[in-house]
Structure formats: C-alpha cells, structure tokens
Amino acid sequence: MTNIKDIQIPEGWKVEYIYNILEYEQPDKYLVKSTDYNKNNSIPVLTANKAFILWYTDEKDWIYNKWDVIIFDDFTMDLKYVDFKFKIKSSAIKLLTNINNYNLKFIYYYLLNLNLIPDSHKRNYISEVQNLIIHFPQSLAEQQKIAEILSTVDEAIQKTDDLIEKYKKIKTWLMEDLFTKWIDTNTWKPHTKFKDSELGRIPESWEVEKLSKRMKIIGWYAFKSKDETYHWIPWLKIANVWIWKIKWKEQSFLPDIYKSIYSDFLIKEWDIVLALTRPLLNKNLK
C-alpha cells in the first residue's frame, strides 16, 4: 500500500485515505418495498446508474433525509450526489457521508474524476475504493469553490441535454405532420387537393415510387470473425447501428485490401444504413 507521506502535493493541500474522509451506511432500511409507482407520489426511488430516479413512491417509513449523501453502486461503481430525501431500489448501494468537515460535493467530483471501473463482479467499496488515497485543498472554502465551478458546468450540460431532447421531440412532431398529416411546406397548412394512389389518397402534388427507383439498394455482406484485424477499415456491425446514428463504442476493423475486393460494400457519407436484424428499438427504426 502506498505511504501517504511519500506523495508530493501542492502547499495547502493534504492527502488522506478515503476511509478517513467518508463513512458508509448499508441501505437495507431505506429499501423500497413496493414497485407500484406513480408520478404523483412524492418520494423518489433512486439508483446510482444513469437512470438515477426510477420512480416515485408513497411509502412513509424509513425515508433517507440526512443532509447530502453520495450513493455508490457496489458492483458497477456508479455514483450520484443527492441532496434531497429518497428511498433506494437496490441493496448493492452504499450511502457515503462525511466523517469530518469536508465538502461532500467536492469529494463526489473527485471520485467521478477517478473514472472508477470494476474489474470483476464483486462488492468494491470496502475492498477497493475506501483504501484509495486522494489529495485535496485543506481549505474548506477552496473545496467549495471547486465544487461550485463543476456544478455550474453540470447545470449547463443538463440544460443543453434538455434542449436537445426538446428539439428531438419537435423533429418527431414535424415528421408526423409532414409525412402523415400532409402539411404543405409552402403554406404550412394542410394540403387541400388529393388523388388516389396504390397507397391510398395522397396530396395531388405527391408521387408514389419504389425506393429502388430513387436510390441504389445494396444488401449486406456477412464478413467472418477471422477477417477481423486490429486496424485499417472500420467494420460496421449490427451492434453499431442505432436510432438515427452509428455508435462506435465497440469498434472492429477489416484489412485495407478489402476496400478494393469489396468496394460495393463501402459506406459513404450520406448513405442510409438500415438494420435488418432487430430493426425496431422502442418502436423506433434503426
């Protein structure tokens, strides 16, 4: 184990083991009993992962309301800072609070910056996290200032995310109006003249054609796992095809020579990729 006396730090800072900064509490008595939920209920049920608020409960007993707290998932090592009363969904959560007079939100951001990743499916806080050494300013005012700066950035990110979600909904509504309610883009009013077609009634100025007349449609090619290399050409797999976008979190590659051997299957900018396996996700087309 590293000796904290051997760590070089700026003047005015100190180093400490996490177990001397945070104490943990098991969540058992705060666990929600019922999965019946209603948005009109007042007490949020939390998880430490991305979902955060799972639902709201009307249970009255054993609600956590002890100031601010960090909720930490012992298996995934996800964590959230919470400053309101709540109930917990999973017994894998640990509730972390101050032992001494530290700014808990500063400690939360410090832990976030460590990018904690589990290396196995085990309970990690006692065995791993609490034995970590962290360094921080001794001044509580400086801790608070750092926490406030990062909180301001988080608020800006949240506002941006909310705005993106708002415009996604607006786009969905526009597509609904333009493609199914036949809004005339010249007047932004519904079309008034229609004609019969093989698909039913459509606006008089519209046409019905097969996609193949307007674009070249190419079927997929099943490359083998033995074809994979460590670099060169990105290999688009079904797992990469998502709603409205391509996700490259898991990336594979094919040999460079395949660009000439399989040139028909090279994807270019503005091409449309449609998933043929599991094409629908949450009623959206991939």
Residue 1 pLDDT? 47
Distance between CA 212 and CA 45 in Å, rounded?
50
Q: Tally Cβ neighbours within 10 Å of residue 219.
A: 7
| Residue 3 banded pLDDT, cuts 50, 70, 90 | low
Q: What is the mean pLDDT of the chain?
A: 84
pLDDT surpasses 80 at 120: no
Residue 7 pLDDT? 65
The pTM of this model reads 0.64
pLDDT surpasses 70 at 115: yes
More confident of the two residues 169 and 144: 144
Ordered structural domains, the chain, with CATH: 4-138 (3.90.220.20), 210-286 (no CATH)
Residue 156 pLDDT? 95
CB contact at 8 A, 6 and 129? no
Residue 231 pLDDT? 76
Residue 160 pLDDT? 94
Residue 256 pLDDT? 86
pLDDT (mean) for 12-31: 90
Give 202: exposed, middle or buried? Use CB within 10 Å, 0-12, 13-18, 19+.
middle
Residue 262 pLDDT? 86
Residue 279 pLDDT? 66
pLDDT (mean) for 159-176: 87
Could you read off the pLDDT of 64-96 as tens digits, one per residue?
Answer: 988 899 999 888 888 999 999 998 988 889 999
Distance between CA 175 and CA 47 in Å, rounded?
35
| Residue 150 banded pLDDT, cuts 50, 70, 90 | very high
| Residue 6 banded pLDDT, cuts 50, 70, 90 | low
pLDDT surpasses 80 at 185: no
> Phi and psi (nearest 5°) for 239?
-70, -20
Q: What percent of the chain has pLDDT over 70?
A: 95
pLDDT surpasses 80 at 181: no
Helices marked H in 207-253: 211-214
Could you read off the pLDDT of 28-45 as tens digits, one per residue?
Answer: 999 988 777 777 788 888
CB contact at 8 A, 70 and 96? yes
pLDDT (mean) for 164-174: 86
